[in-house]
Amino acid sequence: MPRPVVAACLALPLLAVPAVAASWTLGHHGTGVGFGNSPEFTGIRLNLVDEDVRSVDGLSLTLWTPGENRRAVHRGVSLGLVAPSARDFHGVTAGLLGAEAEDDLRGLTVTGLGVGAGGDVIGIQLAGLGMGAGGDVRGITFAGLGLGVAGSLEGAQVALLGFGVEEDLRGLSFAGLGGGVDGSVIGITASGLGLGVGGRATGIQVAGLGIGAEELRGLTVAGLGLGASDARGLQVAMGMVGADDLGGLTAAGYVRSERCTGVSIALFNRTEELRGVQLGLLNHAGNNPPLLRWLPLLNAHP
């Protein structure tokens, strides 16, 4: 995934300041205290605009919008009054607007607006608006609005608006509105409105309105309804629970399934094949004898 959040941050109308190739060092052979656009440096470095930088080890402070730094590797503390940019960051990275890594971003990152990386992001990431990664994200992540990950997302994640993950989600996740995962989910996930999972969701999943997944395993709670091809465990919804295969304990206003194994509690229960017990005002089990298919209060099939 390209870095849409950081790209938007850097597109703000900032004055273009040409990079200055000259540099001055208080030290010896690129080591010590440096001023200017030194391409390789170890120590404390202060520069107006970074461009064509190759490596910086130590403390680096950049005052303005960076130029092209596709080969740059920063190790240590990288600070930018606008947005530091490099191929890789290792250590502490902070930008008033954002931070951008062509490849990997590792360590602690704090920005006022956005964080973007073309590769993996590992560590603690705090972004005032959003974060995007083209690879995997592992660690603790907070985004004031949104979080987008082209790979897998693991750890503890908070997105006050929502998150989208193209592969798998592992750990503790919260979305103020909604979350979408193309792969599987393992852990605890909570969203203010909805959660959609393309594969299996295992653990505890809670949503204010609805949850949809290919498979559900564990505890699933939805304010309005939930649906899955295969749901097993404890399913609770104020509205409807719908599944092809339903197993365990289910409680909802309306429970509809092709096969139900376990206990189903609802105002209205309907299944074509029951292996268990239905409790509700009206209960239907399609595999019972004709006179026992529709029963009030209780229906069962051994």
- Model pLDDT for residues 91-146, shown as the tens digit of each residue: 999 999 999 999 999 999 999 999 999 999 999 999 999 999 999 999 999 999 99
Q: Given this model, what pLDDT does residue 66 score?
A: 86
Mean per-residue pLDDT, 266-289:
97
User: What DSSP designation does 286 have?
Assistant: T
Higher pLDDT pick, 200 / 15: 200
196 in any annotated domain: no
Mean per-residue pLDDT, 198-217:
98
Please report which confidence band the pLDDT of residue 8 belongs to, taking 50, 70 and 90 as the band edges.
Answer: very low
Q: Given this model, what pLDDT does residue 15 score?
A: 35
Q: Given this model, what pLDDT does residue 208 score?
A: 96
- Name the percent of the chain lying above pLDDT 70: 91
183 in any annotated domain: no
Whether 130 and 253 share a structural domain: no
The answer to whether 191 touches 177, Cβ cutoff 8 Å, is yes
Q: Given this model, what pLDDT does residue 102 score?
A: 95
Taking the alpha carbons of 83, 86, 87, 88 in that order, is the dihedral positive or negative? negative
Q: Given this model, what pLDDT does residue 10 score?
A: 38
* Residue after which a domain boundary falls, among 87, 110, 135: 135
Please report which confidence band the pLDDT of residue 22 belongs to, taking 50, 70 and 90 as the band edges.
Answer: low
Please report which confidence band the pLDDT of residue 12 belongs to, taking 50, 70 and 90 as the band edges.
Answer: very low
Q: Given this model, what pLDDT does residue 31 score?
A: 87
* Residue after which a domain boundary falls, among 116, 135, 154: 135
Question: H or E stretch including 183?
Answer: none
For residue 222, what are its two tokens?
A: 């939805």
Domain count, the chain: 2
Q: Which of 15-24, 25-34, 186-195 has the lowest mean pLDDT?
A: 15-24
b vs e for 197-234, b when ≥16 Cβ sit within 10 Å of the residue's Cβ? bbbbbbbbbbbbbbbbbebbbbebbbbbbbbbebbbbb
278 in any annotated domain: yes
With a cut of 70, say whether residue 255 has pLDDT above it: yes
For residue 253, what are its two tokens?
A: 């206003």
Q: Given this model, what pLDDT does residue 174 score?
A: 97
Domain hosting residue 110, numbered range = 1-10+26-135
What is the rounded radius of gyration, in angstroms, for the C-alpha atoms of the chain? 26
For tokens 């590792």, name the residue. Answer: 106
Pairing type for strands 105-111 and 194-207 reads: unpaired
For tokens 């995962």, name the residue. Answer: 181
* Average pLDDT across the chain, whole number: 91
Q: Given this model, what pLDDT does residue 70 score?
A: 87
Question: Taking Cα atoms as reference points, which of 88, 136, 135, 85 lies closest to residue 111?
Answer: 85
User: What DSSP designation does 11 have?
Assistant: T
* Residue after which a domain boundary falls, among 135, 168, 184: 135
229 in any annotated domain: no
* C-alpha torsion angle, residues 204, 209, 212, 217 (rounded to 10): 20
